[in-house]
Amino acid sequence: MTEPSTTLRPVADLIAERLTAALSPTHLEVVNESHHHAGHMGDDGTGETHFAVDVESAAFAGLPRVARQRLVNAALAKLLATRIHALTMRTRAPGEA
């Protein structure tokens, strides 16, 4: 069930809020890519179903890619279950290319 306080807010804002709270990123970019998927599976007509994130956080230091992705997925678990159909991510620690 979707949280009432989140149903009217843009999904990109919710993603940024949750990743900021969970990972204290030094860089965070959230891009809504839903327009590329209009009419495809997972498109619910809202224009807010497909996203890409670029996250730089000290929390990723020393972690392999899969562990970093798990941290992002954990922070966004409720949104992934209800409002996000697809998420691509770039995760890196400060100083990584």
* pLDDT tens digit sequence for 18-70: 999 999 999 999 999 987 766 666 666 667 889 999 999 999 999 999 999 99
pTM, 2 dp = 0.86
pLDDT tens profile 66-87: 999 999 999 999 999 999 999 9
Q: Where do we find the tokens 């230091």? A: 61
8-state DSSP, 96:
-
Q: Which CATH code of 3.30.300.90, 3.30.56.10, 2.30.29.30, 3.30.450.270 fits the domain covering 4-92? A: 3.30.300.90
Q: Helix 65-75 to helix 11-23 angle, to the nearest 10 degrees?
A: 120
E strands present in the chain: 27-32, 50-56, 86-92
Residue boundaries of the structural domains of the chain: 4-92
